[in-house]
Structure 1
Amino acid sequence: MNRILGLTLAATTALSVSAFAAPARERVRGTVSEIGGDSLTVHTAAGTDVAMTLGSSTKYVQVVKSSLNNIEKDSYIGTATKSVGSMLVALEVVVFPPAMRGTGDGHYAWDELPDTTVAGGAKTASAMTNGNVAAVTKSSATPEVNSTMTNGNVAAEASKNGAKQLTVTYKGGEKTILVPPTAPIVTFKPGTMSDVTKGSTVFVIATKDGDKTMANSVAVGVDGVKPPM
């Protein structure tokens, strides 16, 4: 009898924990394969389709091209970086508009992102090969690297050789970040659901609760810009 009661309590506890588990935050990147009504389906680089619900609380922003020149002292930015020794090197930078200052403040783990630094201007030794092409294979995709995200205020900046070194401060700390000329620089503009069309490239922050995934915000690239974050 005690064993049955114990099993019942354990099962009830497990169900309760499952029922009240916090929804999981997800970041979805890819191309819109379907959109209509209150639903959005994104085809990811991994080849999977992620279906999400759109609601009245879903926010939309346009991702548009910016430049290193727009990263100034007192700018509020978000940048995904990779570690090169003791240095943080930017893979991308978002220059937030004033209305979004304070978004995501801090320094924290992020996702694997394309290594935009591999196309940098560094020179290396080379060799020349002239000959007949015997076979052709597709090259692999741009390699991806683990990254961290730093959102904060630019306390200082200095330019040299087409790059910028930034001191970024946030609540509880600061980081020194090198932004190479190869890093995509973008900013946000107000958007609407009508900006999201089939074939658009998007970055979606969503919440997964059981079998339901709700899109909290949708950042859509416009004018050929691909959301790099």
Structure 2
Amino acid sequence: MLFDRLVSLRAVAVSALVLSSSVYAVAQQVPTSRVRGTIESVDGETLHIKSRDGAEVSLHMPASARVAGVAKMALSDVKVGSYIGVTTVPGSDGTQKAVEVHVFPEDMRGTGEGSRPWDLKPNSSMTNGAVDSRTVAGNDGHTLTVKYKNGEKKVTVTPETQVVTYVPATRADIKPGTPVFAITTKKPDGSLEVARLSIGRDGVAPPM
């Protein structure tokens, strides 16, 4: 009896593990895309955007979606321990050059941790992690070591690198002419939906 019960419990545990793996696999397969552009008009929960390549894109933004402003920040305010995202491209000298750095607020620490290909520029990548160290690299540049789970990346920040942070914003700030950045999911009907919209503030366009 005890043996049969143990076998039964093991079967339940294996089934639960398989189900959990299947759910995770399905979640990983949800198609996403990134939209960068400018708001042309707002129609209820639908945003009409002209993307950076000139295409017209419509996004569904449900009432539950969050809005975050993006504003300029001084590199001197990026401290050791800051949780950041940085888009880099490989330089001719083999170093990773930062195109932009965005600093996350503390309640977003851990967002997208790791390093992955990115589509801002050809051969660009996005790395999210904590600043482990920073040093002066010469010619007004700085080298940041960004640590993330199972890895780290050294990136060179130059005077041309855009440095921004997130600031409070609301749906009322989404108006025609507002520069935006969104990571969208494709719904079964083919429409694009956004759960979080980043909008430019004070003349700054989201650089990521």
Shorter-chain TM-score category? 0.7 to 0.9
Aligned residues of 2:38 and 2:179 also touching (Cα < 8 A):
yes
Q: 2:118 matched to which residue of 1?
A: 110
- Highest Rg: 1 or 2? 1
After TM superposition, what 4+ stretches of structure 1 lie above 2 angstroms from structure 2? 20-23
Q: Distance in 1 between matches of 2:168 and 2:128?
A: 20
Q: 1:225 matched to which residue of 2?
A: 204
Q: Distance in 2 between matches of 1:151 and 1:192?
A: 25
Aligned residues of 2:45 and 2:63 also touching (Cα < 8 A):
no
Q: 2:178 matched to which residue of 1?
A: 200
Report Cα offsets for 1:73-120 as digits up to 9, x if no partner. 11111000001143111000001111211111000000033xxxxxxx
TM-score by structure 2 length? 0.82
Q: 2:18 matched to which residue of 1?
A: none
2:194 is aligned, of 215, 218, 223, to: 215
Kindly indicate whether structure 1 or structure 2 has the higher relative contact order, using CA contacts under 8 Å at least 6 residues apart. Answer: 1
Q: 1:71 matched to which residue of 2?
A: 78
Q: Distance in 1 between matches of 2:182 and 2:173?
A: 14
CA RMSD of aligned residues (A): 1.5
Q: 2:133 matched to which residue of 1?
A: 156
Aligned residues of 1:70 and 1:95 also touching (Cα < 8 A):
no
Identity of paired residues, percent?
39
Q: CA deviation at 1:212?
A: 1.5
Q: 1:35 matched to which residue of 2?
A: 42
Q: 1:96 and 2:73 equivalent?
A: no
Aligned residues of 1:62 and 1:220 also touching (Cα < 8 A):
yes
Instruction: Supply the AA of the counterpart residue of 1:81.
Output: T
Extract unaligned runs of 5+ from structure 1.
1-19, 114-144
Aligned residues of 2:90 and 2:97 also touching (Cα < 8 A):
yes
Instruction: Supply the AA of the counterpart residue of 2:101.
Output: V
TM-score by structure 1 length? 0.75
Extract unaligned runs of 5+ from structure 2.
1-25
Q: CA deviation at 1:36?
A: 2.5
Report Cα offsets for 1:37-70 as digits up to 9, x if no partner. 1111110121111101111221110000101111
Q: Distance in 1 between matches of 2:109 and 2:168?
A: 14
Q: Secondary structure at the match of 2:172?
A: helix
Instruction: Supply the AA of the counterpart residue of 1:208.
Output: K
- Greater shift in the superposed pair: 165-174 or 95-104: 95-104
Q: Distance in 1 between matches of 2:120 and 2:108?
A: 25
